């Protein structure tokens, strides 16, 4: 990074909002398409070129992180409340996993989905602010548990995805009561490569730092050309350090 680039990064100010405004949701859909199509080398089955959109969007709250110096949307995720799934026929992740056992447990559930960050903004400040706003939302809506699909690219044919999935299951597996089962299992590979360090994607690392757990085997998503693992976060288990940080901030300099 040059000194000029460092000064520019330091001058950014990131702002957040949660919205259902159709024009802002359209911006999120454009950012999602740009990020996901590049990372997964797929057109995502987009019905409208350049947009990652589906019927769930209209029923979700959309969390936005914007660079106020440029007005550019740099990060987004969407949140589907359990009381809204009457309109959607279920959570998005139910199309990939059998969640019956997990959802039979008491507590209010929300689903996080389509989380993405612009490549130029993948810093601790951006991701931290994303979780800060999420934590405030979870508290406001009295959510007990958060679920969501965390994606891993299969551009190498699936070896990386299997190694990451195995690593997550070894270290961050949920209790048996929260186990889920993939509707489309990830094809097994005949070779293993355990000699090299496992490179966990940044967003999945962030989930794990927040205390999230993976709930079983990965699912294969051929449309996105990725493997998905179902992650679960007990809101009550957010660390005191994160909670204080989250509730203290509604915007942050990067």
CATH number at residue 178: 3.40.630.30
pLDDT of residue 43: 65
Q: Taking residues 4-13, what's their average pLDDT?
A: 48
pLDDT class for 244, splitting at 50, 70, 90? low
Q: Which structural domain range is residue 196 located in?
A: 3-253
Q: How many domains does the chain have?
A: 1
Work out the mean pLDDT of the chain and round it to a whole number. 84
Question: 107 vs 206, which has greater pLDDT?
Answer: 107
pLDDT of residue 1: 35
Share of the chain above pLDDT 90, in %: 52
CA-to-CA distance for 252 and 6, rounded, in angstroms?
Answer: 16
Asked if 232 contacts 213 with a C-beta cutoff of 8 angstroms, the reply is: yes
Q: Taking residues 235-239, what's their average pLDDT?
A: 67
pLDDT of residue 192: 53
Residue 89 has pLDDT above 80, yes or no: yes
pLDDT of residue 92: 95
| pLDDT tens-digit readout, 171-218 | 999 999 999 999 998 877 555 555 677 888 888 888 888 889 999 999
Q: Taking residues 61-69, what's their average pLDDT?
A: 95
């Amino acid at each position: 990074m040059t000194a000029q680039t460092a000064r520019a990064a330091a001058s950014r100010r990131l702002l957040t909002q949660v919205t259902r405004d159709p024009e802002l949701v359209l911006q999120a859909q454009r950012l999602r398409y740009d990020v996901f199509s590049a990372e997964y080398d797929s057109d995502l089955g987009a019905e409208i070129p350049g947009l990652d959109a589906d019927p769930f969007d209209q029923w979700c709250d959309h969390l936005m992180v914007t660079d106020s110096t440029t007005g550019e949307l740099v990060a987004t995720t969407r949140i589907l409340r359990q009381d809204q799934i009457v309109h959607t026929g279920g959570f998005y992740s139910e199309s990939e996993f059998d969640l019956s056992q997990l959802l039979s447990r008491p507590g209010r559930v929300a689903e996080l989905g389509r989380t993405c960050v612009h490549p130029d903004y993948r810093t601790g400040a951006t991701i931290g602010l994303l979780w800060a706003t999420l934590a405030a939302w979870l508290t406001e809506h009295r959510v007990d548990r958060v679920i969501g699909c965390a994606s891993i690219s299969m551009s190498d044919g699936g070896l990386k995805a299997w190694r990451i999935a195995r690593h997550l299951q070894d270290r961050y597996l949920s209790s048996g009561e929260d186990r889920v089962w993939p509707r489309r299992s990830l094809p097994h590979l005949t070779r293993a490569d355990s000699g090299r360090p496992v490179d966990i994607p940044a967003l999945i690392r962030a989930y794990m730092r927040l205390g999230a757990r993976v709930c079983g085997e990965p699912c294969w998503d051929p449309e996105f050309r990725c493997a998905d693992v179902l992650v679960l976060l007990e809101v009550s288990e957010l660390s005191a350090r994160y909670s204080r940080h989250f509730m203290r901030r509604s915007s942050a300099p990067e």
